[in-house]
A and B are shown apart, each in its own frame.
Chain A
């Protein structure tokens, strides 16, 4: 792996491998100077369930979205926003009015001009019943209306200050689809070649279960400031092949059947790093870390000491090394380590102290032991249940749970009961409160969006059941303040309250994406902020 910029090298000293923010374009030096033309095949793990960006729900499909669609804003490497289809925006003093100036030189691939009416039509589309109720209820909760001032000016009026509007306008759901497509597309919610965007590629065809092919948009000339180049994309054509089996993806790469892959499991990393013709890079995702959330609504986790004891009973480093062979980055906070809101002071402040765990459990009254060595209180075993929904288990999280299970049993006599079940059973268990541990990670680009859902007393996936007006107040401050420093202060207090004071959460690892590519491929890397593989715009193939 070679790096081209001093900033990248500096960051690499801090982290074992490059992260999302530090290396937007990896592998450039290895392959020489960018060349125009050629076609490339990329093996990806996940097949998108939709090609309509407004319906986007899979972080793993994000690299496809930005080939054909673009948003008003995008992210820079410092965690801020840069204009994309806009030229700038202003926020009113009360934080309730966002005025966007739009680019006037942009055309959708169906020939329609991009202008303020189009931007309004995209937002208004979410008011159509059944189009995407989730976006309307979460991201656009505070949006009152959108006004068109002139073809190059659009104004968003909010009911209350909500800085997460910017996050929405930089997200796939906020991407701009041709208003003509919104009216005429055959299967609008499924998307497809008849859904026109403004991006550097055109969706040529999609063969379900096999591949999706994009061709260059020769008219493209409006790349954002942070992109690796300007003008049309380098590649004439890119094919994404859906290979769900990790070992098959790696085999296809090592045998030269594809030139680049994403999703390299820890067990296969050695195959890539040992091969001089290949290189591997990892990017940490944005959003919330993969964590265990303790259900505080009933025993035993209604007792702070038991929550703390569970955390002390797990030696997270040992568990991660065992399961991921040192390729996982440990998380110390619910906020991912690449987020600007991450509180570094939480590191090494808790966890991995079996003696303390046992002392806390003794204090909490779980003093007796049963025949199997588990702690009991009043004849009842210290059992906590983790219910995992099979369709959403990834990154060997089921194996990770088994490793945690073994640890808490051995070090503190806690019985962690892990069940991997179908989606219906899992939802039922959550709805009925038949769980003590909930596991989750979210890929939101702004960690605040994840925290609102997970920690606010009215949050849609608040599985801790913890309700605290002070916590809600802090989360609301973080969402309303347009000043980044004030947001950071609020979210640091949120982290202190939930991680240190209340021990509501056991953060485990920071989810990551991996890319492996042949040395003939240049311009690959991770999206700033989101930390997922970037689109094909900067990709090129040396000849």
Chain B
């Protein structure tokens, strides 16, 4: 058991290092250098360039800068933001909680809605209507969903405030906007899983034992259909982080999405690297949770690993 945990941690660390390195190389390969980005569309003279280079120690070879970055990162020092002139840890620390709140609320909403949809829309035409609606939601840009929800529920009826991270009321619309496409995809996957499970011989056996169709669905088939859905947890994390960029912009919410967008646009390397490492860490955690969830859902896997 301890060996398994140690292996997990070690592989997690390797993933983080690989992500940081890949991001570092990508930024290095991107056209234009950091000095260009910092100058932006402002005045550009050799003196200004020289000062920026001195300020950020950019005159050292790329390898030295990279090793220095790794050494500091390992000690928990993520550096200073070129653009915001504040420690990166502080920038990320300020913006992480609102994004987490949004992501958790959206995930919970999306998962619950998907389960409800998959289980309740089993009849022919309801099922077709739900499935069509899900496909429409999944193929609509979240930006548009957000604007429509805002126009109706905030601007027209004044039920929810538009902006900011200010209590539950302000969280409803962004979480729904971010959660709807997730519900759409998950509901499709779950429904597909239910269909397949209900065709299996065990379903026939269960029915033969006199179980009601509802009991077969809830107690047996649902468990089977969860396995492919859990596999999507990694995708879910990506959808939440990527979606947050747009949702936060539309709703004027603070959060990592805004910070990331600004950092990428301005070549703010320390912030971009920190966000990449954070996202990689989120994936490692989520995948670990997914692996544990498999064991919980499917007893057969528990036997084969022990």
Q: Mask for A109-139, Cβ within 8 A of B = 1, else 0?
A: 0000000000000000000011001101110
Residue in contact with A252 in the complex, picked from B45, B48, B155, CB distance below 8 Å: B155
With A424-B32, A460-B45 as known contacts, state yes or no: A248 contacts B250, CB within 8 Å: yes
Is there an interface contact between B254 and A133, defined as CB atoms closer than 8 Å? no
Q: A208-B91, A255-B154 are in contact. Are A137 and B162 (CB under 8 A)?
A: no
B228 at the interface (CB under 8 A from A): no
Question: A293 interface residue, CB < 8 Å from B?
Answer: no
Fill in one digit per residue for B85-128: 1 if any A CB lies within 8 Å of its CB, else 0. Answer: 11100010011001000000000000000000000000000000
User: A265–B259 Cα gap in the complex (Å)?
Assistant: 25
Shortest C-beta distance, B289 to chain A (Å), equals 28
Cross-chain contact of B254 among A130, A207, A251, A424 (Cβ < 8 A): A207
- Compute how far the CA of A49 lies from the CA of B85 in the bound complex, rounded to whole angstroms: 9
A49 to B86, CA, bound (A): 11
Query: Which residue of chain B is the closest to A426 with respect to CB atoms?
Result: B32
Given the interface contacts A129-B55, A138-B43, A422-B265, does A255 sit within 8 Å of B37 by beta carbon? no
The distance in angstroms between the C-alpha atoms of A43 and B84, with both chains bound, is 22
* Chain A minimum-CB-distance residue to B161: A257
Residues in A neighbouring B39, C-beta threshold 8 A: 134, 427
In the bound complex, what is the Cα–Cα distance between A131 and B265 (angstroms)? 23
Residue B243 at the chain A interface, CB threshold 8 Å: no
Residues of A contacting B210 in the complex (Cβ-Cβ under 8 angstroms):
none
Judge if A149 is at the interface, Cβ distance under 8 Å. Answer: no
Instruction: Contact check, B32 vs A392: say whether CB atoms are below 8 A apart.
Output: no
Q: Which residues of A contact B91 (CB under 8 A)?
A: 208
Q: Which B residues are CB-close (under 8 A) to A241?
A: 163-164, 252
**Residues 460-489 of A contacting B (Cβ, < 8 Å):** 460-461
User: Which size bracket describes the interface of B in this complex?
Assistant: 35 or more
Nearest CB of B to A386, in Å: 15
Q: How far is the CA of A207 from the CA of B165 in the complex (A)?
A: 9
CB atoms of B31 and A425 under 8 A apart? yes
- Residues from chain A with Cβ under 8 Å of B32 in the complex: 422-428
Residues of A within 8 A of B267 (CB): 423-424
Contact residues of B between 219 and 260, Cβ < 8 Å to A: 248-255, 258-259
In-complex Cβ contact of A423 among B84, B158, B266 (8 A): B266
CB contacts (< 8 Å) of B36 on chain A: these are: 423-424, 427-428, 431
A247 at the interface (CB under 8 A from B): yes
Query: What 1/0 flags go to B179-209 for Cβ under 8 Å of A?
Result: 0000000000000000000000000000000
Residue on A with the closest CB to B37? A423
Secondary structure dominating the interface of A: mixed
On chain A, the residues within 8 Å of B265 by CB distance are 390-391, 422-423
Number of interface residues of A (CB under 8 A): 50
Select one of B30, B47, B250, B253 contacting A209, CB under 8 A. B253
Residues of B with C-beta under 8 A to A50: 84-85
Chain A residues near B50 (CB-CB < 8 A): 133
Chain B residues contacting A134 (CB-CB under 8 Å) are 39, 42-43, 48
Q: Is there an interface contact between A190 and B266, defined as CB atoms closer than 8 Å?
A: no
Please measure, in the bound complex, the distance between the C-alpha atom of A425 and the C-alpha atom of B33, giving whole angstroms. 9
Shortest B258–chain A CB gap in Å is: 4
At the interface, yes or no: B83 with Cβ under 8 Å from chain A? yes
Cβ-based interface call for A189 (8 A): yes
What is the bound-complex CA distance between A357 and B250, given in angstroms? 44
CB–CB B252/A187 < 8 A: no
Contact code string A185-224 (vs B, CB < 8 Å = 1, else 0): 0011110000000000000000111110000000000000
Tell whether A210 pairs with B31 under 8 Å between CB atoms, given A133-B47, A187-B86, A255-B154. no
Q: Are A49 and B83 in contact (CB under 8 A)?
A: yes
Once the chains are docked, how many angstroms separate the CA of A428 from the CA of B156?
47
Tell me the minimal C-beta distance from A195 to chain B in angstroms: 12
Tell me whether A137 and B254 are in contact (CB under 8 A).
Answer: no
Shortest CB-to-CB span from A425 to chain B, Å, is 4
When the two chains form their complex, are residues A428 and B31 in contact, meaning their CB atoms are under 8 A apart? yes
Give the contacting residue for A210; candidates B41, B155, B163; CB below 8 A: B163
The residue on A at minimum CB distance from B255 is: A209
Q: How far is the CA of A22 from the CA of B202 in the complex (A)?
A: 82
Q: Is A453 an interface residue (CB 8 A)?
A: yes
Are B51 and A130 closer than 8 Å at their CB atoms? yes
Q: Determine if B95 and A209 form an interchain contact, defined as CB atoms under 8 angstroms apart.
A: yes
List residues of chain A with CB within 8 A of the CB of B86. 187, 190
Verify if A245 is at the interface (C-beta below 8 Å from B). Answer: yes
Closest to A390 in B: B265
Contact between chains at B254 and A190 (CB < 8 Å): no
CA distance A84 to B156 in the complex (A): 45
CB proximity of A295 to chain B, nearest CB, Å = 16
The answer to whether the Cβ of B150 comes within 8 Å of any Cβ in the partner chain is: yes
Closest Cβ neighbor of A186 among chain B residues: B86
> Out of B43, B52, B87, B156, which one reaches A461, CB within 8 Å?
B43
Q: Is B44 an interface residue (CB 8 A)?
A: yes
Verify B48–A133 contact, CB threshold 8 A. Answer: yes
Residues facing A in B145-166 (CB within 8 A) are 147, 150-151, 154-156, 158, 161-165
Contacting residues, chain A, for B40 (C-beta < 8 A): 57, 391-392, 423
Does A254 sit at the interface, judged by CB under 8 A?
yes
From A133, A243, A424, A461, give the contact of B30 (CB < 8 A). Answer: A424
Whether a CB of chain A sits under 8 angstroms from the CB of B304 is no
B54 touching A130, Cβ below 8 Å: yes
Q: Are B252 and A248 in contact (CB under 8 A)?
A: yes
- Bound-complex Cα distance A241 to B91 (A): 19
Q: How far is the CB of A129 from chain B (nearest CB, A)?
A: 6
| Alpha-carbon distance A40/B165, docked complex (angstroms) | 18
- Residues in A neighbouring B95, C-beta threshold 8 A: 208-209
Which 10 residue pairs are nearest across A and B when measured between Cβ atoms? A424-B32, A209-B254, A130-B55, A133-B51, A427-B36, A189-B85, A460-B43, A251-B155, A391-B265, A243-B252
In the complex, 7 of the A-B residue pairs with CB atoms within 8 angstroms, ordered by the A residue number, are A129-B51, A130-B52, A207-B165, A208-B95, A248-B163, A423-B37, A440-B41
Sample of 7 further A-B pairs with CB below 8 A, known A130-B52, A134-B39, A244-B249: A130-B54, A133-B48, A187-B86, A207-B164, A208-B259, A254-B155, A392-B40
